[in-house]
Amino acid sequence: MRCSRKPWIVLVGTALLFAASAAHGQGGGGVTLPPGGFGTLTQNDLALRIRTTDLDLRFVPLDPRVTRLLARDSWESLRSVVQSRRPAIDSVANAAGVSRPGLALVTFFGQRENARFDPQSVSVRIRGREYRPLGIVPFSGQFTSQQLDVRQQVSGIFMFEQDLPVDDSFVVLYAGQPSDDWQGKQRTLERERARVALREQQTSTRDSTAADSAR
């Protein structure tokens, strides 16, 4: 299947990676976000996985519509990852003419010695169209070597030209091999959204009652 546009990959250097974070929030465009800090999900609950003979790939969307459903520590960790690399993300997005790129944390895990991986072989299929990354913000210089030993891992933020449809369906592919469809996670996500809303309401009620009692 042909991709929607000719892919071009930018690997942003480590000097820019650790630049100071710019003040930039996610969840714009009028999207109502779940409150952060009330979730119980883990990153594994959000992950799509692909396994080959050489490596495992884990793909976690960095969309606040789902990351805010994570337990507080996981949510704050992923939020910090994005914020600390925001200058690099914005630089690539601006160069590509994309105002709101879709972001995902992609991790490669080595399963044998000298396992090779190709980040340019990662793509997402959305409504029948395949999208390659606009750019990649790696976490370390080891990422560019494209080689792993057993139990070694490298990660990077992958940027796509549009938001990932985390409320619907998409498929991740690596070298043409697909993951499970994201749509299979919708029931878990909907249940957690309802629980998060209830927990927030209960907390607000307790805080309001305590404030009234203190008066």
Asked if residue 36 is part of any domain, the answer here is yes
Asked if residue 160 is part of any domain, the answer here is yes
Q: Which domain holds residue 170?
A: 14-208
For the chain, how far is it from start to end, CA to CA, in angstroms?
66
**Beta-ladder partners of 177:** 174
Return the CA Rg of the chain.
Answer: 19
The rounded percent of the chain whose pLDDT value lies above 90 is 71
Q: How far apart are CA 139 and CA 120, in angstroms?
A: 16
Q: Crossing angle of helices 86-96/72-84, nearest 10°?
A: 60
**Beta-ladder partners of 102:** 160
Triad 56, 40, 186: Cα angle to 5°? 65
Asked if residue 5 is part of any domain, the answer here is no
Q: Are 168 and 111 in contact (CB under 8 A)?
A: no
Region 86-100: what's the mean pLDDT? 93
Residue-wise pLDDT for 15-47, tens only, equals 333 333 333 334 455 568 899 999 999 999 999
Q: Which two tokens stand for residue 166?
A: 């985390």
Burial class (CB in 10 A: 0-12, 13-18, 19+), 176: exposed
**pTM exceeding 0.85:** no
Asked if residue 213 is part of any domain, the answer here is no
Q: Are 170 and 182 in contact (CB under 8 A)?
A: yes
Asked if residue 193 is part of any domain, the answer here is yes
The pLDDT, as a whole number, for residue 45 is: 97
Residue-wise pLDDT for 169-180, tens only, equals 999 999 999 998
Asked if residue 117 is part of any domain, the answer here is yes
Q: Please state the domain count of the chain.
A: 1
The pLDDT, as a whole number, for residue 48 is: 98
Q: How far apart are CA 34 and CA 38, in angstroms?
A: 9
Place of tokens 């409504």: 127
The rounded percent of the chain whose pLDDT value lies above 70 is 81
pLDDT category at 6 given cuts 50, 70, 90 is very low
